[in-house]
Amino acid sequence: MANFGKTIAKIRRAIRPFRATAVTTVAEKHRDPFRVLISCLISLRTKDEVTGAASRRLFAKASTPAKMLRLRERDIAKLIFPAGFYRTKAQRIREISQTLVNGYKGRVPDTLEELLKLNGVGRKTANLVLTVAYGKPGICVDTHVHRLSNRLGWVKTKTPEQTEMTLRKILPKRYWIPLNDWLVTFGQNICQPVSPWCSKCPLQKDCPRIGVRYRR
């Protein structure tokens, strides 16, 4: 499974019938780093359809950090409900908006180091902003990318950060930015965490299925 080109081509063909992730849809429509950042925060532990709807409601009221600060925390919470941990996320969204206004002149920073200084922003969110909003090289590794990279035998790692660092060494750079969108869509619909749809998978003849105990 080390032939990245062939494997990725099969994955891309397999995901054509499925929708792109909610955050990717936001990025493709607006190319606005603030919208991408906030949508990504909303998406954590939340289904894509909920993320998309919550983001649309929120941005209809406030699409910039300054406008977001005009909303009360409970107003933000109400707009993004039923996203997971919506009250905590509402607090974070307001805190980040305040930081952006006070420390960055209302602009989302475009470096990993500065993004990681924002409260509640980890490597996954920071890399997603850098790649899909700013078009800068990076690999966004979430649970799907981490799981699939190990399942396919690309890496042998225990944490998403280890997976990111290993992929940076072995994956051709042309695949870095779109990899998250491809693998998340593939992981949500075919190569699922428990009992993946191996019978429907174009990789079934070659996949080592590392860690798979049950499959359909």
The pLDDT assigned to 116 comes to 98
Q: Helical H runs in the chain?
A: 4-14, 22-30, 33-43, 48-61, 65-68, 73-80, 86-104, 112-115, 123-128, 143-151, 160-170, 176-189
pLDDT tens track, the chain, 216 positions = 568 999 999 999 999 999 888 887 887 777 899 999 999 999 998 999 999 999 999 999 999 999 999 999 999 999 999 999 999 999 999 999 999 999 999 999 999 999 999 999 999 999 999 999 999 999 999 999 999 999 999 999 999 999 999 999 999 999 999 999 999 999 999 999 999 999 999 999 999 999 999 899
CA dihedral 26, 197, 140, 94 (to 10 degrees): 50
The pLDDT assigned to 3 comes to 83
The pLDDT assigned to 2 comes to 61
Domain topology for 31-133: Endonuclease III; domain 1 (1.10.340)
State how far the Cα of 163 lies from the Cα of 175, in Å rounded to an integer.
Answer: 15
Residue tagged active-site, from 48, 89, 124, 181: 124
State how far the Cα of 195 lies from the Cα of 179, in Å rounded to an integer.
Answer: 23
Per DSSP, the three-state class of 189 is: helix
Distances (CA, A) of 68 to 95, 125, 161: 10, 19, 31
Residue tagged active-site, from 32, 142, 169, 205: 142
Minimal CA–CA distance to 146: which of 115, 177, 124? 124
- Domain boundaries defined on the chain: 4-19+138-200, 31-133
The pLDDT assigned to 201 comes to 97
The pLDDT assigned to 30 comes to 75
Q: Is the peptide bond before 208 cis (omega within 30 degrees of 0)?
A: no
Residues 65-83 pLDDT 10s: 999 999 999 999 999 999 9
The pLDDT assigned to 199 comes to 96
The pLDDT assigned to 26 comes to 81
Told to judge if 142 belongs to the known catalytic residues of this protein, a careful annotator would answer: yes
Task: State in Å, rounded, how far the first CA of the chain is from the last one.
Answer: 21
The pLDDT assigned to 21 comes to 85
The pLDDT assigned to 27 comes to 74
What token pair was written down for 9?
């081509």
What token pair was written down for 109?
């920073």
Domain topology for 4-19+138-200: Endonuclease Iii, domain 2 (1.10.1670)
State how far the Cα of 146 lies from the Cα of 115, in Å rounded to an integer.
Answer: 21
DSSP 123-174: HHHHHHIIIIIT--------HHHHHHHHHTTS---SSHHHHHHHHHHHS-GG
